[in-house]
Structure 1
Amino acid sequence: MLVLFSPTKTQKEAPSDQPAKRFFPEITERILSEMQAYDVDDLKRIYRVSDKIAQAAHHNFATFQEHHIAIQSYQGSTFKNMNTNEWSQVDHDYANKHLLILSALYGLVSPNSRIGLYRLDFLTKTTLRLYDLWQVPVTQALNAMTQPILNLASKEYVEMIDTNNLTVPFVSIDFRETVGSEVVVKATYAKIARGKMASQVIKQRITNFEDLKKISFDDYVYNESLSNQSLYVFTR
């Protein structure tokens, strides 16, 4: 089973001597060249951010070096709640084969690959049509891996996959909260739960969707009545 994750806008330095392997070097280089051509004012405009953030992004692109281990560099509650510091080396090795991070710059990123510090998502208004660049190669790569896919990525990143042309099973997960008589999604809790779910899949070596339904943590349990073939809902 492959687990798909979204990246985060925020990153930290995480020096590594792992090889800087790119899945799609030519496409990544094309996007990098585009982003490196922008000045600070350009980045401020297309990101709609402050001078400080635009200056930092410009510096990172101008001095781009792939020195940072991906799974430690990406920040945010989803990554933090994977609790990778509690993983064994065997867990890390397994994750490197079964966890993939979707990226507007790289397409796909393995957890232990080296990456650069960058700011780019599919909402960034560049002259490149990022979804068009990525849909075919990413979809073909996932099909070639011939493994069922557990999607824990956001809608923004799932759209870089042509799910209609996937030849492997593809299931997304929703985490919902019971509030009175309603069952609702709360984004903050859902992000935390995605990280914990990924860690459960890695540590338990989950390989099929039936075993996935048996996972329970933080009072979340599989809710059959709200689920369907392509969407599994966990509620608490």
Structure 2
Amino acid sequence: MIIVLSPAKTLDFETASPTDKTTRPALLKDASVLAEVCKQKSPEDLRQLMGISQKLAELNHQRFSDWEAPHPKLGSKAALFAFQGDVYRGLKAAEWTTKQIEYSQDHLRVLSGLYGLLRPLDRMLPYRLEMGTSLASDRGKDLYAFWGDKIAKQLRKQMDATKSKHLLNLASQEYFKSIDQSVLDCPIVSPAFKEWKNGKFKIIAIFAKLARGSMASWVVKNKVKTVNKLIQFDEDGYRYDAESSTPTVPVFVRGD
């Protein structure tokens, strides 16, 4: 089973990683093309394009101006430990053992607007470029057009290498749309996490993000390979709700 996660806007390049091992992103040449496109933008261009503050626009303009490939060790960091935010708070990767980190290198992937697809130990530089950004390039009007089927082909390659039969989608819709499912050609499982509130179960974004990270961590730690095993997930008070689940959307509820 291969897991896909969304990245996070919040980054941590100050805290040391628990491992010195790093790898090179598979789609770094493509990322460099995007970085060059962004490098030509002014801070004001980036502010309007990304809908961010002037301060963030200037920061990211500087980041793209300083872009180097391959990445130097100084200033770069393994993706697994660079991303922060709710999903990664649930993931708690800093607490993993060396063997769990190694297992995740083969079974966990982070979708990225800039890098396309990142393995946990792939070195990345700090950046801001969400997948839904309408950044035009020679390949089309936005990042979905830019990446085309490249992300799916990388995932398919890794699924074949690990003999994985399912893709576990724990990414947001914005990022999952970057995967050409026709190329992937495999069963996709997209869990839903719901909380009991005001007399019914409903999805609450912040808790759903934490749960996605928690499930990804649980899958890595237990080396889960099948959907039958997946429905045994019971971390953080969640339980499988067979009645509201489907084969492709298993539902996990908490409360009541």
TM-score by length of 2: 0.87
1:226 paired with 2:235, answer no
Once the 2 structures are TM-superposed, how far is the Cα of residue 20 of structure 1 from its aligned partner?
4.5
Deviates more, 1:130-139 or 1:197-206: 130-139
Preserved CA contact (<8 Å) 2:27 2:115: yes
Matched AA of 2:241: N
Q: Partner residue of 2:56?
A: 53
Q: Is the 8 A contact 2:36 2:64 kept in 1?
A: no
CA distance in 1, matches of 2:24, 2:110: 13
Match of 2:186 among 148, 159, 168: 168
Query: Structure 1: which 5+ residue stretches go unaligned?
Result: none
The reply to whether residue 6 of structure 1 matches residue 6 of structure 2 is yes
> Once structures 1 and 2 are overlaid, which stretch shifts more, 37-46 or 14-23?
14-23
Cα distance in structure 1, aligned partners of 2:134 and 2:167 = 29
Q: Distance in 1 between matches of 2:83 and 2:196?
A: 30
Q: Residue 213 of structure 1 aligns to which amino acid in structure 2?
A: I
Deviation sequence 1:39-84 (CA, Å, 0-9, x none): 1111111112211111111111111253211111111011122112
Q: How does 1:56-67 map to 2 (within 5 A)?
A: 56-65=59-68, 66=71, 67=76
Aligned to 1:130: 143
Structure 2 counterpart of 1:22, one-letter code: P
Question: Following the alignment from structure 1 to structure 2, what is the Cα–Cα distance between the partners of residues 217 and 57?
Answer: 37
1:151-190 equivalent positions in 2, closer than 5 A: 151-190=169-208
1: CA distance, partners of 2:91 / 2:64: 28
Structure 1 distance, partners of 2:94, 2:233, is 21
Q: Percent identity?
A: 31
1:26-41 matches, cutoff 5 A: 26-41=29-44
In the alignment, structure 2 segments of 5+ residues that lack a partner are: none
Q: Deviations over 1:126-158 (max 9, x none)?
A: 223210222311112222223211110000000
Once the two structures are superposed, the pairs formed by residues 112-127 of structure 1 within 5 Å of their partners are 112-127=121-136
Shift of 1:173: 1.1
Distance in 1 between residues matched to 2:181 and 2:196, nearest whole Å: 30
Aligned match of 1:72? 81
In 2: Cα distance, 1:127 partner to 1:114 partner: 25
CA separation of 1:133 and 1:191: change in aligned 2, threshold 3 A:
same
For 1:107 and 1:143, the matched residues in 2 are separated by 14
In 2: Cα distance, 1:133 partner to 1:44 partner: 21
- Say if 2:2 and 2:108, in contact at 8 Å, map to a contact too: yes
What secondary structure does 1:231 align onto? coil
Superposed CA deviations along residues 65-123 of structure 1, whole A, max 9, x for unmatched, are: 53211111111011122112221111111111110000111111001110011100123
**Residue from 178, 194, 205 that aligns with 2:212:** 194
Equivalent-residue separation in structure 2 for 1:188 and 1:202 (angstroms): 22
Shift in Å at residue 229 of structure 1? Answer: 1.8
Q: 2: distance between equivalents of 1:165 and 1:174?
A: 24
Q: For residue 101 of structure 1, what is the amino acid of its counterpart?
A: V
Query: 2-side partners of 1:49 and 1:138: how far apart?
Result: 26
Aligned to 1:23: 26
Q: How many residues of Structure 1 are paired with residues of Structure 2 in the alignment?
A: 236
Amino acid at match of 1:119: R
Is 2:22–2:78's contact at 8 Å kept on the other side of the alignment?
no
Q: CA RMSD in A?
A: 1.6
Counterpart-to-counterpart distance in 2, 1:59 and 1:166: 36
1:122 and 1:70 mapped to 2: Cα distance?
16
